[in-house]
């Protein structure tokens, strides 16, 4: 079986340890036996959330990789247990097990994600081997070992981050955007990474909010923009006419010189603006509306693409689409992850794609982490997709190598 091969490969690489949280003794033992027969390194068991937390708190035990948990249990039910997981064990993946109504399970899935849990999906009872294999296979797809972001010993101060910018320690990493129908790389998104001399590669969660809160995000935006522009030129010189997408900060949109500054960056890098897409969040498009609309209209007139990023997570989505001449709509990953087997998410994704097509603009799904979601996007005629199923964000050199060997169907 293909999925069983994936599980064995993940075990060989990561020696997966499981925790089964289920109050029914027979179901718990059956599931534990099933996991062991599939190659699990170890399987521990708990009768409710309270016992599960005690197991996780035991420092002498091997670290748990994946928790499989029921919802209805005595002492501490699944929902309270998930709350504690999100607070203290957010690095552990979760699979929800339940025989409850699908709409209710979908609501609990949303709650788990809101708590910051790495949710692999939900499985209906009785648990089947094939469905279990599919969800477990997502564990390594979501958190591939070669791209683990450095764990941080402490929060970075504004001064430390600005010093990193001054020392030119910030670089764009590039995540491919692939045509869902033909499986061809059509573009990349440039994502900011801090190459810290002590802590390694640091993701945006450690610095974006601090810079934005202090009105200093503009400097990072243009650092990434300039480096992405030269990367775009290098891609084109190598024979790959890919588009390049870069996020535009909230504060930048209030500056009436923004369009001229961005145009100058393209001129300096000798890049045609037609190959550049500026991604704007829904909330960003609402701040200082007049200045934002002037900037975005001018950029669109000069040939830049405009993408409404994180579609569905902000406010007044329809109003933003009617105000701004977007060329792309990006469906947020919270709707894409696991949408293939979630009816509510499937309807939302399908309606977003239909809206984009009726407006004659491209639709991109982000956060694609499983093959079944990729296949489902094909079925609903999504244009482009990006996510760990396709590739992790990578350096420019790695991207050039990736383009040579890439194949997907």
At which residue do the structure tokens 């699990």 appear? Answer: 40
Same domain, 62 and 185: no
**Residues 160 and 128 occupy one common structural domain:** no
Domain count, the chain: 2
Mean pLDDT of the region 8-19? 58
Q: How far is CA 256 from CA 6, 65, 289, 322, in A?
A: 52, 49, 12, 21
**Same domain as 293, residue 172:** yes
Q: Which residue has the higher pLDDT, 6 or 285?
A: 285
pLDDT band (50, 70, 90) for residue 47: very high
Query: Which among 106, 138, 148, 66 is positioned nearest to 370, based on CA atoms?
Result: 138
**CATH, residue 113:** 3.40.50.2300
Are 318 and 293 in the same domain? yes
Residues written for the chain? 409
Task: Based on the fold, state whether residues 274 and 372 are members of the same structural domain.
Answer: yes
Same structural domain, 71 and 157: no
pLDDT tens-place string over residues 357-375: 999 999 999 999 888 899 9
As a three-state string, the secondary structure of the chain is CHHHHHHHHHHHHHCCEEEEECCCHHHHHHHHHHHHHCCCCEEEEECCHHHHHHHHHCCCCCCCCEEEECCCCCCCCHHHHHHHHHHHCCCCEEEEEECCCHHHHHHHHHHHHHCCCEEEEEEECCCCHHHHHHHHHHHHHHCCHHHCCCCCCCCCCHHHHHHHHHCCCEEEEEEEEEECCCCCEEEEEEEEEEEECCCEEECHHHCHHHHHHCCCHHHHHHHHHHHHHHHHHHHHHCCCCCEEEEECCCHHHHCCCHHHHHHHHHHHHCCCHHHEEEEEECCHHHCCHHHHHHHHHHHHHCCCEEEEEEECCCCCHHHHHHHCCCCEEEECHHHHCCHHHCHHHHHHHHHHHHHHHHCCCEEEEECCCCHHHHHHHHHCCCCEEECCCCCCCECHHHHHHHHHHCCCC
pLDDT in tens, 273-323: 999 999 987 555 555 678 888 888 999 999 999 998 877 655 445 666 777
Mean pLDDT for the stretch of residues 81-100:
86
Q: Which residues contact 255 (CB under 8 A, 6 or more apart)?
A: 218, 261, 291, 295
Higher pLDDT, 358 or 151: 358
Q: For the domain that residue 162 is a member of, what is the CATH number?
A: 3.20.20.450
Q: How confident is the model at residue 7 (pLDDT cuts 50, 70, 90)?
A: very low
pLDDT for position 59:
56
End-of-domain residue from the set 100, 117, 143 = 143
Instruction: Report which of residues 134 and 266 the model is more confident about.
Output: 266
- Among 91-100, 192-201, 251-260, 317-326, name the one with the lowest average pLDDT: 317-326
Average pLDDT of the residues of the chain:
85
251 with 279, same domain? yes
Residue 379, pLDDT above cutoff 60: yes
In this prediction, residues 2-29 reach a mean pLDDT of 66
Q: In the listed set 91, 119, 143, which residue is the last one of a domain according to the structure? A: 143
For residues 310-337, give the mean pLDDT: 76
**Is the pTM of the predicted complex or chain greater than 0.75?**
no
Average pLDDT over residues 250-264: 87
pLDDT of the residue at 115: 81
* CA dist., res. 372 & res. 338, Å (int): 8
Per cent of the chain over pLDDT 70 is: 87
Distance of CA 285 to the CA centre of its chain: 21
Distance, CA of 334 to CA of 336 (rounded, Å): 6
Q: State the Cα–Cα distance between residues 190 and 182, nearest whole angstrom.
A: 23
The answer, yes or no, to whether residue 143 has pLDDT greater than 90, is no
Average pLDDT over residues 94-101: 87
Most confident of 102-111, 260-269, 318-327: 260-269
Which residue segment(s) compose the domain that 385 sits in?
152-405
Q: Are 280 and 253 in contact (CB under 8 A)?
A: yes
pLDDT tier, 394 (very low <50, low <70, confident <90, very high otherwise): very high
208 and 321 in a common domain: yes
If asked whether residues 238 and 317 sit together in one domain, one would say: yes
**121 or 5: which carries more pLDDT confidence?**
121
- Confidence label for 219 from pLDDT (cuts 50, 70 and 90): very high
Per-residue pLDDT band for 146 (boundaries 50, 70, 90) equals very low
Residues 113 and 186 in one domain: no
Q: Same domain for 120 and 179?
A: no
Instruction: Give the confidence band of 378 by pLDDT, cuts at 50, 70, 90.
Output: very high
Where is the domain boundary, 90, 123, 143? 143
Judgement on whether residues 25 and 129 belong to the same structural domain of the protein: yes
* pLDDT for the residue numbered 116: 80
């Amino acid at each position: 079986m293909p999925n069983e091969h994936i599980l064995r490969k993940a075990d060989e690489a990561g020696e997966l340890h499981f925790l089964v949280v289920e109050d029914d003794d027979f179901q718990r033992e059956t599931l534990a036996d099933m996991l062991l027969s599939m190659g699990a390194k170890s399987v521990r068991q708990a009768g409710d959330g309270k016992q599960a937390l005690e197991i996780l708190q035991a420092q002498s035990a091997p670290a748990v990789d994946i928790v499989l948990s029921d919802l209805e249990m005595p002492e501490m039910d699944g929902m309270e247990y998930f709350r504690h997981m999100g607070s203290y064990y957010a690095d552990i993946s979760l699979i929800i097990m339940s025989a409850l109504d699908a709409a209710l399970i979908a609501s609990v899935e949303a709650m788990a994600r809101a708590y910051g849990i790495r949710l692999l999906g939900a499985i209906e009872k009785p648990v089947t081997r094939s469905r279990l294999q599919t969800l477990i296979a997502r564990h390594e797809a979501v958190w591939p070992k070669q791209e683990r972001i450095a764990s941080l010993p402490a929060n970075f101060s504004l001064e430390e981050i600005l010093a990193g910018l001054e020392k030119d320690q910030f670089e764009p990493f590039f995540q491919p955007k692939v045509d869902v129908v033909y499986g061809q790389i059509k573009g990349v998104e440039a994502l900011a990474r801090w190459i810290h001399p002590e802590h390694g590669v640091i993701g945006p969660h450690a610095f974006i909010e601090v810079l934005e809160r202090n009105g200093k995000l503009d400097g990072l935006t243009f650092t990434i923009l300039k480096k992405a522009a030269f990367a775009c030129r290098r891609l084109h010189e190598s024979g790959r006419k890919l588009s390049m997408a870069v996020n535009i900060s909230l504060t930048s949109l209030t500056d009436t010189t923004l369009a001229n500054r961005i145009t100058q960056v393209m001129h300096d890098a000798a890049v045609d603006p037609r190959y550049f897409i500026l991604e704007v969040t829904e909330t960003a498009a609402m701040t200082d509306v007049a200045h934002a609309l002037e900037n975005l209209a001018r950029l669109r007139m000069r040939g830049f693409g405009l993408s409404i990023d994180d579609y569905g997570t902000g406010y007044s989505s329809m109003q933003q689409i009617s105000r701004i001449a977007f060329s792309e709509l990006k469906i947020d990953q919270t709707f894409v992850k696991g949408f293939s087997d979630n009816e509510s998410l499937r309807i939302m994704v399908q309606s977003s794609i239909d809206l984009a097509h009726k407006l004659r603009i491209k639709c991109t799904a982000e956060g694609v982490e499983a093959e079944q979601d990729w296949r489902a996007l094909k079925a609903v005629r999504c244009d482009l997709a990006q996510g760990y199923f396709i590739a992790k964000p990578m350096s420019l050199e790695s991207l050039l190598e990736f383009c040579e060997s890439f194949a997907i169907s």
